[in-house]
Structure 1
Amino acid sequence: MKLPVKVRLKQLKKATLFEAYKNEEVLGYCQRCNNYGKNFSCPDFMFDTTSYLEPYNYATIIMTEIDTQPIKAQIDKLEIANLSSRVFNNYIKEKPDEVVDISSAISMYAFNDIKDQMTDKLIEIEKDIDNTVGLPPGSCTKCITCLKQQGQPCIYPETLRYSLEALGFMVSDIYKQCFDLGLGWTKGELPVAFYSCSALMTKEKINETMLLDKLHGIVLNINEA
């Protein structure tokens, strides 16, 4: 099952993006996550997150959207064993007795797949456009176990990036601010759509059509049983 990914953009001045900067509140949510302090892409950081974005003047918010109706129509044909992802593995690693329903497994698989594709796309875009940095969704899952937990340096520092959440931004505010979209949590069932939020920080304004062309080709592929 190959599902198209809709991409929407909203270019902001950095000052406008910072209206959603709520570092203390977001950090509180991060501290409840199993990745806190255990992943190089997650807090707590040894650098100031506002200083990290100091070189840039604009933020292009990138929202991906996947309609889940085709998945719902075929959900009886899907098996958790075919939905392996690092996000899923990290989740059950800390909760070995947790029973994961198929909807949650699909959601984690979809997020992980889009996250990986978006990370690769943003890093390629950085090579094409000077003075940019990408902020992909979620935490880095390149390694089975992040070496931060062993006190060792990251082995992929050239591709280590940070999400908007990790840097202290309230992503729900950004969805509302940029796309007039309020996201609600669902339990035990798939949402109407899967969303993810990334950003490309730039020194100058960029051509949005050009950026959309560079982001073309993202597809969610879910294997049926």
Structure 2
Amino acid sequence: MMMKLTVKVRLKQLTKETLFEAYKREEVLGYCKRCGNYGKNYSCPEFEFDTIRYLEPYNYATIILTEIDTQPIKAQIDRFGIGDFRSDVFNNYIKNKPNDVVDIKSAISMYAFNNIKNQMTDKLIQIEKDIDNLVGLPPGSCTRCSTCLKQQGKPCIYPETLRYSLEALGFMVSDIYKKCFDLELGWTKGELPVAFNSCSALMTKEKICEGVILDKLDGIVLNISEKE
């Protein structure tokens, strides 16, 4: 069985000053420290650079929200098993918490996030190549390698595509969801949420046409296939 789910994309362009209303580095860092990737992934804190200076060249932020209705998955969830939803995010979770039992709904959530994260990262890097003077901030941590070489004290082997999420740079993404899209982040333990959401950004020096960005983000879909 193949399920192809539409990914809805919404944009909101902010001045950098407005974005920085959601900058809460110490509070966000506290959440990061609870994650198994903290200090073990080149895309995650702590960094050897100043996160504010990293964004200093830019004046505007285009916030990108992706949204996937989960109702089609809920209607067919009995057809799937954990093995249908293996992902790098899932594998990292298991490595960090080997004694945890992962239910099917959590595995689906990890799979969806990983899949959209990878597509969005590639899209943002392509936009960087097409348009000068901007940088993309994809969702989540980098999972290009099964184990980040930072854990071995070795340099990143993909530095040209290494990017940082809004969270990693110190922004409270729940505040951004609320401010930009009037959307409250909600956790439904043991259940799938109403929608899968992720948040990315493009930092630019000048205002940018939202239609151009939407065109370049076209074609993002979530494919779910039941393994035979």
TM-score, normalization by structure 1: 0.99
Shift, 1:223, TM fit: 1.1
Of 133, 138, 155, the residue aligned with 1:153 is 155
Of 117, 120, 128, the residue aligned with 1:118 is 120
Of 174, 198, 201, the residue aligned with 2:200 is 198
Counterparts of 1:40 and 1:94, CA distance in 2: 17
**1:141-220 paired onto structure 2 within 5 Å:** 141-220=143-222
Shift, 1:82, TM fit: 1.4
**1:8-157 paired onto structure 2 within 5 Å:** 8-157=10-159
RMSD, matched Cα: 0.5
Counterparts of 2:207 and 2:34, CA distance in 1: 36
TM-score, normalization by structure 2: 0.98
Shift, 1:224, TM fit: 2.0
| Structure 1: stretches of 5+ with no match in the other structure | none
Counterparts of 1:161 and 1:36, CA distance in 2: 15
Q: What number of residue pairs does the alignment pair up?
A: 225
% identity of equivalent residues: 82
Moved over 6 A (4+): none
Shift, 1:53, TM fit: 0.1
| Structure 2: stretches of 5+ with no match in the other structure | none
Q: What letter corresponds to residue 118 of structure 2 in structure 1?
A: D
Q: What letter corresponds to residue 213 of structure 1 in structure 2?
A: D
